[in-house]
Amino acid sequence: MYRPLPLFIGLRYLRAKKKNQFISIISGISFVGIALGVAVLITVMSVMNGFDEQIKDRILMMVPPVKVYQAGGKLYDWQALSQHLQEKDKRITGAAPIIEGQALLSMGGSNAFAAIQGIDPKYEDSVVPVGQHMVEGRLSQLKTGEFNIVLGKYLAQSLGVKVGDKITVIIPQANLTPAGLMPRLKQFKVSGIFSVSYQYDSYYALININDAAKLFQMGDSVTALQLGVKDIYQAPFLKETLNTQLLPSFYVARDWTDENKSFFQALQMEKTMMFFILLLIIAVAIFNLLSSLVMVVTDKRADIAILRTLGMSSRQIIMTFIIQGLAIGIIGILIGVGLGVLLSLNATEIVNWIQNVFGVQFLSPSVYQIDFIPSKLDYLDVIKVGIAALTLSFLATLYPAWSASRVQPVEALRYE
């Protein structure tokens, strides 16, 4: 079978002479380094993708895609506004009113600050599916006038309460009484507990929207109208449409990226920086590849001189050593990609096994929102890593190949 001369010689030079096995060892180290670097980079990128997806899902689970506010802080006649918006824009899948406020929850000697959300259970699941994450009780038990409350899992634990217990809700508003200014408070019965993520489980409490209106003296108004969408990543575009076309000037729409913009920007920046930092691992292996090729050129000076006297051109000499270096790089990249994909697809199970065997917990849910190592393999990341590693491998071959093409036959063969 016909093979171009530079390809044949370049592959043949992958092995040095027996007297110079040290060069082969250096080449092997380069190959192993590239494979490990690529595998580590793919695995870390997949874990970063997993964290990004999990944190987004858990945060967005309790954050409505779009909220509409009215100037002055109180929104009136939300039913008419809801109907108008859903008729005008088919991207909206549901609407739910909400009353928001802050309160101090008290049970015996235990106290905790909480964000109180007054919701209508009939509409809430069309926007925020918290009802699907109830640990105890049901969201439908938040009935008008019964003054029931649903707590996050960790909030309930900090207060030491369970379903059926009664707690006191104290809000930062005062009533004027004959005895002077007294804080406004109301007793609620715990009717359910939900679990979404540590951030929300430790801080949020839900009550019926009509009970919230009485508690916060909102009358017939609500704080905002929440809107659900088919694709949550279309929320910024829907917000733009609402603010420029569908809403009067005294309304303003905000989407989930406005409330968490800096957080998600930080996640993206962290992922980008991690990619370039870990790319340095591959760069170190590439320097080993460059060193091994330089030593191969030195080792093969006589061979190069003979090939030149037989009519091999400088261009062919350059191609010979580029092929040799790329062969090492490509084999390392392919093995690294295979290993990286395998580790990425099984990262969660591997880490869980290590935690079970050694009795350790790598992640605290109070810090990372989750208690396991997530992994999501993105083949676009695999392609990016492969291209980056291949580009570095190619660049590492240029100087040794150029140096080989500069070998003068007379000088190289003088002492042979």
User: What residues have CB less than 8 Å from 322, skipping those under 6 apart?
Assistant: 10, 394, 397, 398, 401
Longest dimension (CA), the chain: 113
Please give the Cα distance from 118 to 130 (Å, whole number): 13
User: Does residue 69 carry a pLDDT above 90?
Assistant: yes
For range 76-81, the mean pLDDT: 92
pLDDT at position 1 is 47
pTM of the shown model:
0.68
Residue 25 host element (H or E): helix 21-60
In Å, how far from its chain's centre is CA 44?
Answer: 11
For range 229-252, the mean pLDDT: 88
Least confident of 7-11, 144-148, 280-284, 364-368: 364-368
Task: Give strand pairing partners of 205.
Answer: 116, 151
- Among 140-149, 265-274, 355-364, name the most confident range: 140-149
The region that residue 207 occupies, defined by phi over 0 for left and psi between -120 and 50 for alpha, beta otherwise, is beta
Residues 323, 57: contact at Cβ < 8 Å?
no
